[in-house]
Every structure is written in C-alpha cells, then in structure tokens.
Structure 1
Amino acid sequence: MLTFSVSEFKERLVKTKQRMTNAGVDILLVTDPANMNYLTGYDAWSFYVHQVLIILIDEEQPIWVGRGQDASAASHTTWLDDDHIIPYGDHYVQSTQRHPMDFVCDLLKMRKRDKQTIAVECDAYYFTAKCYLQLVKGLPNATFKDGTNMVNWVRIVKSDQEIAYMKRAGKIAEKAMQTAFDMMDEGVRECDVVAGIAHAQISGLEDFGGDYPAIVPLLPTGEKTSACHLTWTEDRFKQGDPAIIELAGCYKRYHSPLARTIVIGVPTERMQYVADCVVEGLNAALDAVKPGITCEELEMVWRRVIEKNGIKKESRMGYSMGLNYPPDWGEHTASLRPGDRTILEPNMTFHLIPGIWMENMGVEISESFRVTETGCELLADFPRELMVKPHIRLA
C-alpha cells in the first residue's frame, strides 16, 4: 500500500521539475534513497547497491533503475507502472568489469537522451566518485550539473499527511526516551539500555508500530558526554554518571528526534547550571519561532541567552529534518546558524538541539517542532530538564 496518494507524489514531482526547469536541467538522476522515497514511495534496504531514479523533464513518470532482485520491491512500494521499473542484471553488482551507471548510460542512449543536460546529486551519501566517472565516460555528449539538494528543498515544507506521520514518530520517541530513563541505573550495562530503546522504537505503540531510525541511539556517558556522537559500550553505569541520550522515533521513514541528559544520583553544580542555561535558551528559541523569521534570527535568540550566562557555542543550533534513511535524519537544507537566511514557513520541521559540549562534560536537551501559522508545535511531549534518576541503595 502506498504511504501517500498518487496525486501527492505527482505534486511533488511537478515541484521538482520546476526546480529542474529553473536550473536548465533536462534530466535529474536521484540517488539519495530519501528523495527516491519522497518522489515514488520506494522503500527497501537496497541502497547498499547502486540504484537511481531518472526524472525526465518531459515524461510523467520517473524511471526506477536498480538491482534485478529489488524490482519487486519497486512494484510493491511505488506508484510507477511496470514500464518504468527497469532492473539491471546481477553481473553489474560490485563488479570490477562493469558498473550500474554503465547500464544507466546505455538506457539514456537508447532513449536518445545522451546529449541533454543532466543533474546528479553530487553530495548524496550513496552517489560515489565512481558513479560520476562512469556517467561522464559513458555520456561524453551530455552536459553535467550539480543537482545536490534539488529534491531536498522541495521536501522542506511538509504536507499534512507527512506531519501526521511525524507526530506518530514523536509519540514513539516519547516511549523510547521513557524506556531509557526507566532502565538506567547503577550496575546496568549501556548496551542493555540501548536494546530497550531499540525495542521501544520498533514496537511503537499499540495503535501503530515503529520503523528503524536513520541514526542509532547515541549514548555517551561520564566525561565522554563532551563527545556528542559516541554510541554505547558494554560498560555499566556508575553512581553520579551523566548520560546523553539522543534518539528518534520513526514512522514510515519520518523522524522525530529527541535528546535528554540523565544523571544517576546527584548532578554536579556545573552540570545543573549548564542544563538550566540550555533550557532557558531552548525555551526562548521556541517562543520566538514563527513564520517569517529566518534561521539565523532564531539562532541569535538562543545565542543571546547563553552568552549572557557566560557560555559560547560554535556549532549550529538545529536543522531541518523529517524523511530519511541511514546515516542521517537531517534533510541537508536549512540550518539554525549565523548566515542561514532561510525563512521559516508553516509545516517546516526542525530538530532544535542546542547542546553544549565542554572539555569534560556535555549537556543535550532537544525538541523537534513544526512551524505553525503563528508559532510552533512540538512533536513530542517529554520533561524539558536535566533528568535525575534517584538511586536507592539496598541495605
């Protein structure tokens, strides 16, 4: 069953083609699996081999090209007819003699499209240097342009159905974070807490299940909370240990990230002070969200709060997010940071993560929100504070 109506997919394609026209592009080769999903519904763990969605400016349907054994997945999950699902043979897979982009070149030549202007997603994770070299070699009469993020910018404003999916993801995030808080205690292994988080993420709620998130749970502990992107170990939590937990609920590939900092026992005065500053700045930023404000203006609201408290932060405060596949749930478009003058519009969605990472400690407390007509709406409802897990020693 399709995750969206065919009319919504076609509307997305029209918007993409308008961007192609504005850029002087005849053909767009989409290799980002999130963009492939956005335009067709294609959903399979097949992005470890090369696959591409060919958008021809003057044809109604795109063409899906992928491994032969994945063609059935395209039939099951997309709105494309059989004539627009074109598989390549398995002898192209991880071969030193031929490459899937050779197949794409032959297909475009056969359709007499080899002399047109072609845009490729140069900075997409799954578009390799080898892909580009084979395309240039195989289509010497074509003109190539960088089409990075062309579809991503169409994705930045969500439909009501997309927002509904993200709200479900938010409910899953709430459950997963509560599971983490309930399981954390002195003597418990980090890996066991993450196993509980993963179960909560995938089992979802009684009314709807969850999906695998684009990023695994992040769980640095102790002094390692100064490093925001560590995962977990088999070590056991100790009394006084802080832990940063960053996770996301995911529903039909749509994400709602959430981060909290949890302390077993009593937090240090320094950690409590930093956490209070983060929450103050986060609250101020959320209060400032409204259509018409720019990303950099929103970041400045946060910056003013923390700098008056003697804290500086160089990294961005947040980013647009939603539909995605590993290794990232961010959309790679708007960032909440100085210099980004993207204007917020209703139904844009962001992960606001104003973390502070110092030499030997860190604090993360984040919220995901959508921009409304007058302000913002949170995607999850969870205590916005430094969370303290009381430890009771048994006699």
Structure 2
Amino acid sequence: MTTGTPAPFTAADYEARMERAAQSAADAGLAGVLVAPGPDLVWLTGYSVPADTERLTLLVLAAGQEPTLVVPTLEAPDAAKAAGADAMTLRDWTDGTNPYDVTAPLLDVTGRFGVSDNAWAMHLLGLQKTLPDTSYVSLTEALPMLRGVKDAAELERLAAAGAAADATYEEIKKVAFAGREENDIARELADLLRKFGHSQVDFTVVGSGPNGANPHHEASDRVIRHGDMVVLDFGGLKHGYGSDTTRTVHVGEPTDEERRVHDIVREAQTAACDAVRPGIACQDVDRVARKVITDAGYGEYFIHRTGHGIGVTTHEPPYMIEGEEQELVPGMCFSVEPGIYLPGRFGVRVEDIVTVTEDGGRRLNATARDMAIVS
C-alpha cells in the first residue's frame, strides 16, 4: 500500500491552476470563471469554506486579470491563510452592504461566465440583477475537463487512496457476514477506510441478496444469509483525493448461475479496462463493457453508465457513457464498473479506478476480481 503523506500543494501549484482555468475560459469564449465554495474552489485555491454558507464567497478568474476572491469580512483572516492566498487578491465585504457591488467591478458587464455548479441561485440572481447584461453557464457544461486531467502529485494521492481501499477490502473479507446486518458490515468498512488513512468516508454500500440488484442501495437492517451474493462498494477521500472500488463476494458456495453472472461482469470489466488508451472516446469504454454483457444475454440488466471521473470528489467528469465523445488523454482518472442486476434476486458489480497513461491505462486498484467466498 502507498504510504507516507504527500508534500502539500504550493502557492505556485494553485497559481498555475488558476491561470489555466482563466485561459481555458478564454479559449472557450467565456469572459471568465466564477467559483463558489465547493470542490472547484478547494482545487483552485486550497481554501475550504462550507458550501452551505449564505454569505457570498466567490473567486473571479479572467485571462489578463489578477485572480480575486470576494469574501465576507469575518472570513477574510481564514481566506488569507489559504495555500493559494499569495496568488490572488482578497476583496472583502461587510454584513449590511451589498456583496454584488463589490463583485461587479471585477466582471465584464456584458460577459458570459462559467459558474461552478454548486453556486447558490440566490448569488447568481444577485449578480444578474446588478449586471443584467451578463450571462452564465455551468462549468460542467462549459469546461468539463477543468479538473479532469490529473498531474503527477494528484495521481500519487489517487493511488494512495486506491491502495487504502484495497487494504480495506482485504480486511473485510476476513470478517463474518452470515447472521449480521448489512449495517454492521457497512460500519466496519467505514472504520477500515479510516484506519487506512481516509479522512472522509463518502459511501459504504452493502447490498446482500435481492438488495444487491439495486445499484444505489446503501445498507439496511437486512440480515445477511448463507447463500447470499453481497455487493460491496465503498470509498471516500484520502489526502483530499477519492477512492471508489466495488467487489462482489458470496456467503458460502455460489450456484452455477451466480458464478456465471459474476464471470460475465468480470470479463466485461477487464475488457473495458484493457480498452483504455489515449485517443478513444469515453463512450467507447462503455461500449466495450456493454457489448460483453449484451452478448451474454444480460444487456437489459446493465442499467447504469460504465464509469465516472474521480479526483477531489468521488464523482466528476468525464463519464463513460454512450454519447460522451470526449477523448481520453493521459492523466484522466475514472471508474470502470459494469454490473448485472437481476431484480428480486441478486446483483454483481466489479469496479476499479483507472488512469490513462501515454500508451494505455493503469488500474489504481489491485485486489483480486474473482468472486471471494466469505463466511
């Protein structure tokens, strides 16, 4: 397992990200980028503030213009301590004044701006009221690959998160499943993720028997029984970057059908991972996995996309789905997670995080993908 704590990102790292974002916006025909609290702000500046704050906090980026962070006065001291603070100017506003009057002079009064997806409607409407000739588009639509290509330091963190998730899986296989609630196994997964260095646990899916046929089942008080197939999907953040892996285990010996369905999913997942290389479209990864499952007669039971990007959040662009023509480039990281879900009976999913290399793809999860037998 990857060990040690990676070196922190520097002010120069954040400055380069902000410059790249501003230039990407200009290349896309935008006047700039407006970034509210959330993962984009953390990635661009190192500054973390609760996304549910009602006071306007907004990073303004535009080509040829110094990055500026508009913050409430009471938050300014903390913002000044952010790792990227030296690469931007702070403009604060006090309660009782209009924050949009502070923000307006930073914007092209007739410009079209990319806005981070989690910006408050109240704040966007406030800007529109102050600058009625401006217009806005979501960053996912305008700049979907803003965070999509990871550098070496980011890949190091993703690899460490993946290794921690792998260690979690190796440990959870050793515990008793039969006679215990799904909730019990989910709690143990969360504890193990933290044990192996996760600061945040985002999900611990434990879908036993018929619950495994629901891809977004989390965990319940259902008691796991001998003879159950159990889908385990878990992940979170380590060193600020995500893990996400799925393995499907069986309590006792599986039936021939259960083994066959698992083999089909594993083959689909392997084929899709092997297909990853620069220059192919995201939808091609989905097509490869889906063809294996469809050819085996289970196409109608593969009911979700094949994968999603991962980085400072566990779900982000790019998405491996039909219609997504974005080409793969080195440094992209995403899940490959086909599945088969038989309603009322059982489900199977196998998932790894894959990064695109110069000549192919590399998995960031290394645990065995064969069906594990647990007690």
> TM-score, length-normalised on structure 2?
0.88
Partner of residue 115, structure 1: 109
Residue 232 of structure 2 corresponds to which residue in structure 1? 245
> CA 1:72–1:383 in 2, change beyond 3 Å: closer, same or farther?
farther
Is the aligned partner of 1:370 residue 2:355?
yes
Q: 2:154 & 2:311 partners in 1: Cα distance?
A: 9
Residue 74 of structure 1 is matched in structure 2 by: 79
User: Which residue matches 1:263?
Assistant: 250
SS of the counterpart of 1:168? helix
Q: Indicate the residue corresponding to 1:43 in structure 2.
A: 48
| 1:41 maps to amino acid | G
Are the counterparts in 2 of residues 3 and 41 from structure 1 also a CA contact under 8 Å? no
**For each residue in 1:170-220, what CA deviation from the matched residue of structure 2 results, as whole angstroms up to 9, or x when unmatched?**
11111222233223422223223222222222232xxxx32204x321222
> Is contact 2:30-2:112 (8 Å) kept?
yes
Q: Secondary structure in 2 aligned to 1:266?
A: coil
- Tell me by how many angstroms 1:286 deviates: 1.6
> Which amino acid is the alignment partner of residue 17 of structure 2?
R
User: 2: distance between equivalents of 1:67 and 1:174?
Assistant: 44
Partner of 1:60: 66
Is 1:30–1:121's contact at 8 Å kept on the other side of the alignment? yes
Q: 1:161 aligns with which of 136, 141, 153?
A: 153
The alpha carbon displacement at 1:167 in A equals 0.6
Letter in 2 for 1:107: V
Match for residue 5 of structure 1 among 6, 10, 20: 10
For residue 85 of structure 2, give the secondary structure of its aligned residue in structure 1. Answer: coil
Report 1:330-345 matches (<5 A). 330-331=315-316, 333-345=317-329
Match of 1:182, as an amino acid? K
Cα distance in 2, alignment partners of residues 35 and 383 from structure 1: 34
Range with greater deviation from structure 2 (286-295 or 78-87): 78-87
1:384 aligns with 2:369: yes
For 2:31 and 2:320, the matched residues in 1 are separated by 33
2:3 matched residue in structure 1? none
Hey, what's the Cα distance between the residues in 2 that align with 1:83 and 1:164? Answer: 27
* 1:203 maps to which of 195, 199, 209: 195
Correspondence list, 1:350-365, <5 A: 350-360=334-344, 361-365=346-350
Please tell me whether residue 136 in structure 1 is matched to residue 128 in structure 2: yes
Shift of 1:348: 0.9
- Quickly say closer, same or farther: Cα 1:147–1:22, change in 2 above 3 A: farther
> 1:158-307 alignment to 2 at 5 Å?
158-204=150-196, 209-213=197-201, 215-307=202-294
Asked if 1 retains the 8 angstrom alpha-carbon contact of 2:306 and 2:320, the reply is yes
- Percent same amino acid among aligned pairs? 24
Alpha-carbon distance in 1 for matches of 2:76, 2:188: 34
Partner of 1:98: none
Q: 1:3, 1:252 within 8 Å by CA — same for their partners in 2? A: no
Distance 1:250 1:83, change over 3 A: closer
Partner of 1:349: 333
Contact kept? 1:253, 1:323, Cα under 8 Å: yes
Report the Cα offset of residue 71 of structure 1. Answer: 4.1
The Cα RMSD (Å) is: 2.6
Residue 237 of structure 1 aligns to a residue in which SS? coil
Aligned partner of 1:348: which letter?
A: M
Q: After alignment, is 77-86 or 258-267 more displaced?
A: 77-86
Other-structure match for 1:319: 308
2: CA distance, partners of 1:349 / 1:268 = 35
- CA distances 1:137-187 after superposition (whole Å, capped 9, x unpaired): 2332x4112042245412111100000000110111112222332234222
Q: What secondary structure does 2:199 align onto?
A: coil
In the alignment, the residues of structure 1 paired with residue 221 and residue 289 of structure 2 have an alpha-carbon distance, to the nearest angstrom, of 36
TM-score by length of 1: 0.83
Which is richer in strand? Answer: 2
Q: SS at the partner of 2:65?
A: coil
Which of 12, 16, 24 is 1:19 aligned to?
24
2:177 maps to a residue whose letter is D
In structure 1, distance between residues paired with 2:223 and 2:123: 44
